[in-house]
Structure 1
């Protein structure tokens, strides 16, 4: 079995518990809030997960499922430029000053087809591209460690009902891509909501969510997916797509037929010139595999049978001054649970776990590792590290955790809190 990403769940008969954490005062700076909606010019529909950032400032966000964004930028960036990006569209650059005090901005992106010489072949075997991309990681990604502020959200659903929701603002020490040092994270502030029925006889605890969200940085941890050299997969170049006004290879990969192990498959987006990993959307081939549950389940009652229905992942990177940085990751795993000692094991319940982490700020001064006692460990159940609801001054009007809310909406509401703290 290769080094797979393992998102452990503890199936237990005990309720969630909470640990106290200290309230922290948030420092406020002079800022402007910019709002708008991003549409695709060819479809006249909202563009989801469009990247929104400010030129020369490490502050960013993404659009929500309706194409809306809200971003708070420093006052000194008044004369800077807002940059909006989306796969397959030309970048849009807008002066920040034109968006101040103007909440109903509709921004339309123009499709950007790739213009290449007819002699260039953009199809066929992509093995050599993937191997070159792995070799170039040290030169394409940051050689020095940096600090990040990130928003994290995780959930556990029973059927269509959320039984646990967690949100947290994190400080992250991002280790150099040229070192073997691990990334570190600590919770700045967090909160949770649970809805556990007294009739529930089993609860799912999501273990290691933050650690695994950072492990999805496949440029930092390529062995998680590709092993030592990526030789367990076949790679097919499907063509080119425009990302950030630059062409990117779109490569589909899947396990080689003769390999029977549980591995991954999906789409890799490589920058055309540098071969840097810009984005990756992939899933685990767990369908009809009875042994798949061993990857995810750490402890469960003996009479319980668990089947993994789906395990899918996304990781996204952003380029800044010629170097690439981790920007976003998500995971969603679906389980089917039944009891052999109840109704002949005929009835089953579906559970879904999910997590997302989005970097909202990044800086390279005052880069420090965290004291051991403050670090999030891979064995931590994050729902047990945060309170049900603390510090209303921090969360403000956002005084409930909305179950079906996109992480982008939460970032929009808390945009003034998701920046570095001096």
Structure 2
């Protein structure tokens, strides 16, 4: 029974994320161009673009948090280290804080930034290694249990209304087949409250090239909720809760730093006598508060048959489908001494082998959500169209030809491959109109 419950926990996170099937009905939302004023409520904005690099290697740094000090407005760098930050005019006299695990925190005056091509360099933090001994805890598993027990003390337990930017791409091999982007309102429940978070759609755009999906379509129904469910503290049952920790081995890794504070690093993997697909990865725990600051983990897919059953509910009879990558990430941010969900990301890659065919197909889903603004809000009703957990944003290319489509919303700067895909969509739209 315990083994079945653990598998069920894994299924809860993954079953809505990727389903392979013949063309069929999809849950969709029609709200593709709904305008909602950003949380900051400021109409005059200033845009700043740039990249963040390692000061020694000069390598671009991904997933760097960039926050306007004294506000809840923030953005994050993409995989190529690029960022776009929209700053209301009233905040131009403030500074931005730049933070990333393993690096010393940076701070720059906004007035010193250029409109474009800003280059920001972060220094690797020097961590003094020591024996882990916080609150008398010397065992890695005990530290993880303590962190899971701290949700009432160190996480934001107000009901908050967040603005989030969401992006989802589907690739067939290295070519984009579908691109979805949306701005969402996230109604985040207190971490001590068992009630689930809610989402509503404020603005979105999507384009799908089904010719690249052949006669087989990947029906990707994870959507925004899947990235929201990477919040381990709010939804521990989707990876492991306190009762499931006995299925894992926990060990300490070298400590690191975040925002000039010591962070303990805990490796985890499933026990060798357990052959069901569980997770492995790293947990990053703040040494002062025992808050989980980040988690980077993967599903163990070495058992292809069991891993496939977790994802695939329906497929063509002549196809063998199994995952080759199932990777997850969640990052938390802190303000006024409390931590809150800031970023979630999922990457899933599937291989499809057909009988009597020489070549196989490889499909990859990437979806990420970044919180770009938030405020405490106990009583407000949902604005925009409420989304269901199994939502799929409807196909509609509206907005890709409009450079001002997102208005004042902060978004994740697109990577070069996505920029190229958008350019092709714009070309198609222009050809269709001519």
Does TM, normalized by the shorter one, top 0.5?
A: yes
Distance 1:199 1:326 in 2: 34
TM-score between both structures, scaled by the size of structure 2: 0.83
Distance 2:248 2:122 in 1: 36
Q: What's the RMSD between the two structures over aligned residues?
A: 3.0
2:224 corresponds in structure 1 to 210
2:430 corresponds in structure 1 to none
TM-score between both structures, scaled by the size of structure 1: 0.85
1:113 corresponds in structure 2 to 126
Q: Is 1:395 equivalent to 2:412 in the alignment?
A: no
Structure 2 matches for 1:212-361, cutoff 5 A? 212-229=226-243, 230-340=245-355, 343=356, 347-361=359-373
Q: Does structure 2 retain, via aligned residues, the 8 Å contact 1:278–1:317?
A: yes
1:21 corresponds in structure 2 to 31
Q: Does structure 2 retain, via aligned residues, the 8 Å contact 1:177–1:219?
A: yes
Distance 1:72 1:198 in 2: 35
Q: Does structure 2 retain, via aligned residues, the 8 Å contact 1:317–1:326?
A: yes
Instruction: Give the CA deviation at 1:289.
Output: 2.4
Structure 2 matches for 1:54-69, cutoff 5 A? 54-69=68-83
- Judged with a 3 Å threshold, the aligned counterparts in structure 2 of structure 1 residues 332 and 102 are, in CA distance, closer, same or farther, namely closer
Distance 1:102 1:23 in 2: 28
Instruction: Give the CA deviation at 1:15.
Output: 9.1
- 1:151 aligned residue (165, 168, 184): 165
1:163 corresponds in structure 2 to 177
1:196 corresponds in structure 2 to 210
Instruction: Give the CA deviation at 1:228.
Output: 3.7
Instruction: Give the CA deviation at 1:79.
Output: 2.5
Q: Does structure 2 retain, via aligned residues, the 8 Å contact 1:49–1:62?
A: yes
Larger mean CA deviation between 88-97 and 316-325 belongs to: 88-97
- Judged with a 3 Å threshold, the aligned counterparts in structure 2 of structure 1 residues 278 and 119 are, in CA distance, closer, same or farther, namely closer
What do residues 351-394 of structure 1 show as CA deviations (whole Å, max 9, x unaligned)?
A: 112211111111114653538x9322122223x2x522148375
Instruction: Give the CA deviation at 1:273.
Output: 1.1
Q: Is 1:381 equivalent to 2:392 in the alignment?
A: yes
Distance 1:264 1:63 in 2: 26
Distance 1:83 1:72 in 2: 14
Distance 1:17 1:193 in 2: 16
* SS of aligned partner of 1:299: coil
Distance 1:139 1:242 in 2: 21
Q: Is 1:404 equivalent to 2:417 in the alignment?
A: yes
Instruction: Give the CA deviation at 1:97.
Output: 2.4
Q: Does structure 2 retain, via aligned residues, the 8 Å contact 1:250–1:269?
A: yes
Q: Does structure 1 retain, via aligned residues, the 8 Å contact 2:292–2:332?
A: yes
- Judged with a 3 Å threshold, the aligned counterparts in structure 2 of structure 1 residues 257 and 75 are, in CA distance, closer, same or farther, namely same
Distance 1:271 1:378 in 2: 31
Instruction: Give the CA deviation at 1:22.
Output: 6.6
Q: Structure 1, unaligned stretches of length 5 or more?
A: 410-422
2:21 corresponds in structure 1 to 11
- Judged with a 3 Å threshold, the aligned counterparts in structure 2 of structure 1 residues 233 and 189 are, in CA distance, closer, same or farther, namely same
Distance 1:228 1:256 in 2: 16
What do residues 211-260 of structure 1 show as CA deviations (whole Å, max 9, x unaligned)?
A: 11111100101121113432211111012101111110111100112222
- 1:183 aligned residue (181, 197, 207): 197
Q: Does structure 2 retain, via aligned residues, the 8 Å contact 1:248–1:271?
A: yes
Larger mean CA deviation between 156-165 and 306-315 belongs to: 156-165
- Following superposition, which runs of at least 4 residues in structure 1 exceed 4 angstroms of deviation? 14-19, 25-28, 118-125
